[in-house]
Amino acid sequence: RRANAAAAASFLLLTAWMYDWYGDDFIQETYLYHLTRKDNRHNFSVYFYSLYLMWQSSLLPILSLVAFLPQMVLLLVTSVLLYQDIVLCCFVETFIFVTFNKVCTSQYFIWYLCLLPLLPASRLTMRKASFLVFLWGASQGLWLTAAYYLEFEGCNTFLLIWLASLVFFCCNAYILDTILAHHTVTPVFPSEKREKKG
């Protein structure tokens, strides 16, 4: 409980300090930016095509907020379910944040790939793990092929890019499901289990 209080106090004090320095710009750029961010460039997100087609629509801000809801719900649910295994929780939270984001580009993948080696031993076989790596790479390759024809050949491949985004999204969902199915939650603080029993 003291750690939670210290974390909350640090968060609030630093937020107040930065707000004092930068004002409303700090709140907007730090906390609210991703709620209202709009980007009509092609990217791996399943939302990019809808945002692209509705770019001039008055409904765009509503779509932008609605697109944020599944991500937020999943982040809250996984926080509650996986909080004891902090390493797994950080990986899953980051993977969900990137996969369900309104904007998803290749550099975002580093955010969860750097956490992958920290995961404790999994029950995944080498064959299954290799298949997941292949699936992840192949689904990116599909998307990159369609994007190449748009960027370098000037072909209208927006619909193909969006379909490839859907394939990539489904592959990511399958990968995450498989990782979770083959992982045993390992509490970081085993003493908590003993205290609850006693």
What are the tens digits of pLDDT across the range 128-157? 999 999 999 999 999 999 999 999 999 999
Q: What pLDDT sits at residue 20? A: 93
Q: What percent of the chain has pLDDT over 90?
A: 57
Q: Can you tell me the distance from the alpha carbon of 100 to that of 95, in angstroms, rounded to the nearest whole number?
A: 8
Q: Which residue is associated with the tokens 């750029």?
A: 29
- Higher pLDDT, residue 194 or 15: 15
- Higher pLDDT, residue 26 or 35: 26
Which stretch of DSSP H or E encloses residue 137? helix 126-151
Mean predicted confidence (pLDDT) in 23-50: 81
Checking if the pLDDT of 23 tops 80, the result is yes
Q: Please, which residues have CB within 8 angstroms of residue 68's CB and are 6 or more apart in sequence?
A: 34, 35, 102
Write the pLDDT tens digit of every residue in 82-105: 988 989 999 999 999 999 998 898
Q: What pLDDT sits at residue 138? A: 98
3 state SS of 111: helix
Structure tokens at 180: 């979770």
Q: How confident is residue 190, by pLDDT bands cut at 50, 70 and 90? A: low
Q: Please, which residues have CB within 8 angstroms of residue 80's CB and are 6 or more apart in sequence?
A: none
Q: What pLDDT sits at residue 2? A: 81
Structure tokens at 7: 């974390």
**Average of per-residue pLDDT values in the chain:** 88
Q: What pLDDT sits at residue 140? A: 97
Mean predicted confidence (pLDDT) in 75-79: 96
Burial 64-80 (b: 16+ CB within 10 A, else e): beebbeebeebbeebee
DSSP 4-48: HHHHHHHHHHHHHHHHHHHTHHHHIIIIIHHHH----S--S-TTH
